[in-house]
């Protein structure tokens, strides 16, 4: 059994930069949890604190229910796989894999047997006598994994182990890693910035931005019902279309979502209508993925948007048309400034109720001086003011369609597939997903 619990964990660097901000997260026994986010969001720092390579500034870390902050890294029953492999160049593959066992005082005979079993499972049984310099990148990564597995730890920590490999090899090792960890039943925390890796490998995904936990859920949950505007913008290819809309309520009939030159109409019978109705006369953000849009004839009735193609992208198996529908897009920077928020409340574990998640905003460290706090507030980016631009609605088409930029196009909108967010970036929703 191996479980992990982070309790309001914060890490502030000596220069005052907050790398991780009050993160609370539970990882179940045998679970494969992926920490996902852009470079610099704090995901590797979380891993290093669990491993004991960094000490948190605040909060607590529990392994199997016991606090471990006073334990040395070697006493935590953790194996870590790094991005750069970290192999000993003067040792053979067999010696690299067996080195942790040698340090533990295991006799040569059982040590060689365990090394052979692990190497065979990883497909490197025929290179045990080689040095790391004689191996390919994929083989070196397998050796690094073997060195972690051979210890039979209670917890695997993997810090972007595939980022230095080519795409074909990444896909191959992706399936090997998930298969091995599930076969061994080992709890695994895996760090990546690649959403394809996260959505493919994870039992659950935890998404970080500027050190703040944005969302936690299964791949289906975080993709299908993102908790914040940031998560909606971060996940998906092409990215979700995020459009500014004014809300006008026509009681017992429909809710008009005015996009500027055109409008969509949410039926009053839609279960989300009551929640959206609270924003009558206000701006909200509507999210629609490319799969929610279907090209139709211009005169088709219903919820249809009309526009002209600005440009086309061809991807072989499909083409993407980017459509000007006279709407305004909301753009979220991956590492952009934060939105303002009220004074901090006591931290609570992340929850999935509509609009009640941790804010898209960053928080100032508790130890910051008042003037630093004011400077942080003064530097915020308001997506409603600074991050608007004419919308380019991404629509999926058949490969190499017989149309050109400037061509008119009408698309039907699946109203049940729309996502709604308030101006602070929180999901407008009704209850649990």
| CATH code for residues 4-228 | 3.40.50.300
C-beta of residue 214 within 8 angstroms of C-beta of residue 360 = yes
Summarize pLDDT for 219-270 with one digit per residue, the tens: 999 999 999 999 999 999 899 999 999 999 998 899 999 999 999 999 999 9
Q: Which residue has tokens 């907050």?
A: 18
* Residue ranges of the chain assigned to CATH 3.40.50.300: 4-228
C-beta of residue 192 within 8 angstroms of C-beta of residue 34 = yes
Q: In the prediction, which pLDDT does 106 show?
A: 86
Alpha-carbon span 336 to 132, nearest angstrom: 40
Summarize pLDDT for 298-320 with one digit per residue, the tens: 999 889 999 999 999 999 999 99
Angle between helices 167-184 and 137-149 (to 10 degrees): 10
258 preceded by a cis bond (ω within 30 of 0): no
Summarize pLDDT for 104-121 with one digit per residue, the tens: 888 888 888 889 888 888
Q: In the prediction, which pLDDT does 24 show?
A: 96
CA dihedral 341, 345, 346, 347 (to 10 degrees): -20
Q: In the prediction, which pLDDT does 82 show?
A: 80
Q: In angstroms, how far is CA 396 from the centroid of its own chain?
A: 24
Q: 371 falls in which pLDDT band (50, 70, 90)?
A: very low
Nearest Cα residue to 344 out of 332, 322, 361, 329: 361
The pLDDT > 90 percentage for the chain reads: 55
Is pLDDT at 14 greater than 60 in this prediction? yes
- The pTM of this model reads 0.79
Q: In the prediction, which pLDDT does 339 show?
A: 36
Q: In the prediction, which pLDDT does 117 show?
A: 86
Residue 426 tokens read as 């929180």
Identify the three-state secondary structure at position 24: strand
């Amino acid at each position: 059994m191996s479980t992990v619990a982070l309790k309001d964990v914060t890490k502030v660097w000596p220069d005052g930069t907050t790398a991780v901000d009050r993160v609370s997260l539970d990882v179940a026994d045998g679970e494969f949890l992926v920490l996902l986010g852009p470079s610099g969001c704090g995901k590797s720092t979380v891993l290093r604190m669990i491993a004991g390579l960094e000490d948190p500034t605040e909060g607590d870390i529990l392994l199997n229910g016991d606090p471990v902050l006073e334990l040395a890294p070697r006493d935590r029953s953790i194996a870590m796989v790094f991005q750069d492999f970290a192999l000993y160049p003067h040792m053979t593959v067999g010696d690299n894999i067996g080195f942790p066992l040698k340090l533990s005082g295991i006799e040569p005979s059982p040590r060689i047997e365990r090394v052979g079993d692990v190497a065979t499972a990883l497909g490197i049984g025929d290179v045990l006598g080689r040095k790391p310099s004689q191996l390919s990148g994929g083989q070196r990564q397998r050796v690094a994994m073997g060195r972690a597995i051979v210890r039979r730890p209670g917890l695997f920590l993997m810090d972007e182990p595939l980022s230095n490999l080519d795409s074909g090899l990444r896909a191959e090792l992706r399936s090997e890693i998930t298969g091995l960890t599930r076969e061994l039943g080992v709890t695994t925390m895996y760090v990546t910035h690649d959403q394809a890796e996260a959505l493919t490998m994870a039992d659950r995904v935890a998404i970080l931005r500027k050190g703040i936990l944005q969302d936690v859920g299964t791949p289906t949950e975080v993709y299908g019902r993102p908790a914040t505007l940031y998560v909606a913008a971060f996940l998906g290819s092409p990215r979700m279309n995020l459009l500014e809309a004014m809300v006008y309520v026509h009681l017992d009939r429909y809710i008009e979502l005015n996009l500027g030159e055109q409008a969509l109409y949410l039926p009053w019978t839609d279960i989300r209508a009551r929640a959206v109705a609270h924003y009558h006369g206000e701006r909200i953000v509507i999210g629609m993925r490319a799969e929610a849009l279907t090209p139709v004839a211009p005169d088709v009735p219903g919820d249809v948007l009309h526009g002209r193609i600005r440009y086309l992208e061809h991807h072989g198996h499909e083409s993407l048309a980017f459509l000007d529908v006279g709407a305004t897009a909301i753009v979220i920077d991956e590492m952009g400034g934060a939105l303002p928020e009220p004074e901090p409340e006591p931290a609570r574990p992340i929850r999935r109720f509509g609009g009640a998640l941790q804010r898209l905003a960053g928080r100032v460290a508790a130890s910051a001086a008042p003037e630093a706090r004011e400077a942080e507030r003064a530097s915020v980016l308001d997506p409603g003011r600074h991050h608007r631009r004419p919308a380019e609605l991404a629509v999926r088409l058949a490969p190499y369609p017989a149309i050109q930029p400037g061509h008119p196009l009408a698309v039907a909108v699946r109203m049940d597939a729309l996502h709604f967010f308030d101006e602070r970036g929180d999901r407008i929703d009704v209850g649990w997903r």
